[in-house]
Amino acid sequence: MVHFVGAGPGAEDLITVRGLKLLGQADIIIYAGSLVNPALLEHAKEGCRIYNSAYMTLQEVTAVMEEAEGEGLTTVRLHTGDSSIYGAVREQMDELDRKKIAYDVCPGVSSFCGAAASLRAEYTLPEVSQTIIITRAEGRTPVPERESLKALAAHQSTMILFLSSGLARKVKADLLEGGLSPETPVAVVYKATWPEEKIVRTTLDELPETMEKEQIRKTALIIVGRILEGEYAKSKLYDPAFTTEYRKGTKQ
Ligand code: SAH
C-alpha cells in the first residue's frame, strides 16, 4: 500500500496527526527533498528506507513503490504542502493504477494557508474579494493561454502565485496589462512557517525591485490583492441583524 501524505508548508508540527502516524509506520519513505522539512524524517521507524525524490524520475519513484509492494511493505510518498497543488501526484497515481497497487491520500496544509497564517490575512474579505485564484506565471512549464496572468487579472480577485518568485518582472508586466493598478498591494512570503520565514510587503509596481533587494528567488508565494489593505465590509455571519440557521437576528 502507498500513502501519499501532505507534509505541510514547512514547520515540522504542521503535518496532520494522520500524516505523522503514517510516517511512523512506513517501511519506505520517498520525500520531496527540495521542500519537505527533513526534521519530519526523524519520525521514521528504525530500519525505514528513505529516498529523496529530488534526484529521481517518475519511473524511479514508481519502481521503488512497486518493489516495496512486492515485498508487502508500506510506502509513504511525502509531498510538500498538500499534494493536490503542483504536486505531480496524478501521474504517480495513474502509474499505480496501471500497476494495480493500492494507494490513498492524506491531505496536508498547503503553503498558501501557512502564508495566510504568517500574514494574519483573510483571503476572502466581504466586498473586497470572495475568490482566490491559485496560479503560477508561465516559465518553463506552460500555462494554458486562457489562464494567463493577464486574463486572470480581470477578475481583480485575491491571487496566489506559486512557482513564480523568479518571474517577478513578468508577473508585474502581465498583471498591469491585465488591468491591475500599480498600487495593488502585494505580499511575498518566503519559506512560510519555516524558522527562516521572511515576509515582505510591497506594491505590484515595486515587486521586482523588492524581490531583488530581498534576494528572494525561490520557495516563496506572491500574494496579490486588495485583501492585503485596510478596507472591507463585516461578514453577515456575525452581524447582529442577520438571521442564520443557528441565531435569530434583530432584523426580519
Ligand atoms: N504542494 C505544495 C506546492 C508545491 S509547488 C503546497 O501545497 O504548498 C512548490 C512551490 O510552492 C514553491 O515554488 C513555492 O512557490 C511554494 N511553496 C512551498 N512551500 C512554501 C513555503 N513554505 N513558503 C512559501 N512558498 C512555498
Distance from C-alpha of 138 to C-alpha of 149, rounded to nearest angstrom: 8
Task: Give the distance (Å) from ligand 1 centre to CA of residue 192.
Answer: 9
Q: List the grid coordinates of 7.
A: 507534509
**pTM of structure:** 0.94
Which residues have CB under 6 Å of ligand 1?
A: 9-10, 35, 79-82, 85-87, 110-111, 114-115, 162-163, 189, 191-194, 219-221
**Distance from the CA of 34 to the center of ligand 1, in angstroms?**
10
pLDDT at residue 154 in the model: 96
Q: What is the pLDDT of residue 233?
A: 79
Nearest Cα residue to atom 17 of ligand 1: 219
The mean of the pLDDT values for the chain is 96
Cell of 170: 513578468
Positions of the chain with pLDDT lower than 70, given as ranges: 252
162 CA to centre of ligand 1 in angstroms: 6
**pLDDT reported for residue 230:** 75
Count CB neighbours of 106 within 10 A: 23
Structural contact between residues 37 and 78, judged by C-beta atoms closer than 8 angstroms: no
Contacts of 74 by beta carbon, 8 Å cutoff, 6+ apart: 1, 2, 3, 25, 26, 27, 28, 68
Instruction: Round to whole Å and give the CA distance between 150 and 193.
Output: 30
Q: What is the pLDDT of residue 187?
A: 98
Instruction: State residue 210's pLDDT score.
Output: 97
Q: How far apart are CA 198 and CA 59, in angstroms?
A: 36
Give the model confidence (pLDDT) of 94-115 as tens digits.
Answer: 999 999 999 999 999 999 999 9
pLDDT at 252: 63
